[in-house]
A = this chain, B = another copy of it.
């Protein structure tokens, strides 16, 4: 039985409530839209009829594989209000495809058409459209998730799972304007490695990262800069992809825009990452955009020689997180912030182009209007 939009059942609240009058009270991932999408799968019966129901707690058996063996993966994407009040998703096909690769990595079923799940998500957002806040920087954060519900303690592929989608109305990631972040380059803890699961959006990757991330914050840094290998390659920043821009700090000339490659299997193939790379290739020429390994030594030397222009994180939550400082082996590397002290010109250009597409101000096939 396939995961099919045509089988969707709806159990809609008569009075779903409304967004708070003061949108600035919204906290990321803590207030939720009133409905969710749920679909259960079992090896013997396939997918149940997908249901849109009021958001409610799940009843889960204590022996379920999601509690013991980390059988869980998720996605994050956003719905935005366009100029005419229409609701738009940003590249939902990319998230659905990545969810399928994550499910495959966990031996969960991934044999459905991505388009069907896109339509189901779209239907959920349509039901909760009053919870897609209006206003610049506002959006509805959407969280598709799959958890193993196999009720047995043996370590084996789950015979059942639950796919669900919840959503959370959110405000600007930086409510008072961009706040450049400081990174602690982590020499001991490792987020991911070749042959591991860093390239998949599994709960496991976040379990590994949580401790070092918290420790970095205790030390006064915003995020961990995850390194890898004896040559301290940069990989990701916190839960974001990372871009470093090399060039001439005096003239501002951009020579190379670098992000770690997907080929090592350690880097999450981020949707914002992919979008930024495509835009930068258009703007700067593909010769100046590199997916390659980059070491801290290179960043450090570039900084000393006035060749370090920018560093920023890329992710769905913030789109862009400009980096102002990297602490490496106890010493600070300062990253120039050339535009009004908040972000560099490449970051600013990426930020403006992507948000303009997301909010429907710039027409693009990346922005999909909900039915």
Taking beta carbons and an 8 Å cutoff, which residues of A are in contact with B? 27-30, 32, 36, 55, 57-63, 66-72, 74, 104-107, 141, 143, 145, 147, 151-157, 164, 166, 168, 188-190, 193-197, 202-211, 213-214, 239
A208 contacts which of B63, B141, B196 (Cβ < 8 Å)? B196
Contact A207 B210 (CB under 8 A): no
Residues of B within 8 A of A29 (CB): 63, 152-154
A30 touches B152 (CB 8 A): yes
Q: How far is the CB of A253 from chain B (nearest CB, A)?
A: 36
- Measured CB to CB, the nearest residue on chain B to A30 is B152
A62 touches B74 (CB 8 A): no
Cross-chain pairs A/B with CB under 8 angstroms, 16 sampled: A29-B152, A30-B152, A36-B62, A55-B62, A58-B59, A60-B60, A63-B166, A68-B74, A68-B145, A68-B203, A71-B203, A141-B153, A156-B210, A190-B195, A203-B204, A204-B204
The residues of B that contact A27 with a CB separation of less than 8 Å are 152
Query: Which of B62, B72, B104, B166 interacts with A58 by CB under 8 Å?
Result: B62
- The answer to whether B62 touches A28, judged by C-beta atoms less than 8 angstroms apart, is no
Kindly report how many copies of this chain are found in the complex they form together.
Answer: 2
Contact across chains for B207 and A202 when beta carbons are under 8 A apart: yes
Query: Which residues of chain B are within 8 angstroms of A197 by Cβ–Cβ distance?
Result: 207-208
Alpha-carbon distance between A245 and B354 when the two chains are bound, in angstroms = 60
A152 / chain B contacts, CB cutoff of 8 Å: 27, 29-30
- A206→B70 contact, CB < 8 A: yes
Q: Which 3 A-B pairs have the closest CB atoms?
A: A29-B153, A70-B207, A70-B203
CB contacts (< 8 Å) of A32 on chain B: these are 63
Known A-B contacts A153-B29, A153-B143, A204-B204; the reply to A107 vs B60 at CB < 8 A is: no
Q: In the complex, which residues of chain B have a beta carbon less than 8 angstroms from the beta carbon of A145?
A: 62, 67-68
B-side contacts of A211, CB under 8 Å: 104-107
Q: Are B203 and A69 in contact (CB under 8 A)?
A: yes
Complex CA–CA separation, A277 to B164 (angstroms): 46
Q: Is the CB of B70 within 8 A of A202?
A: yes
Nearest B residue to A217 by beta-carbon distance?
Answer: B156
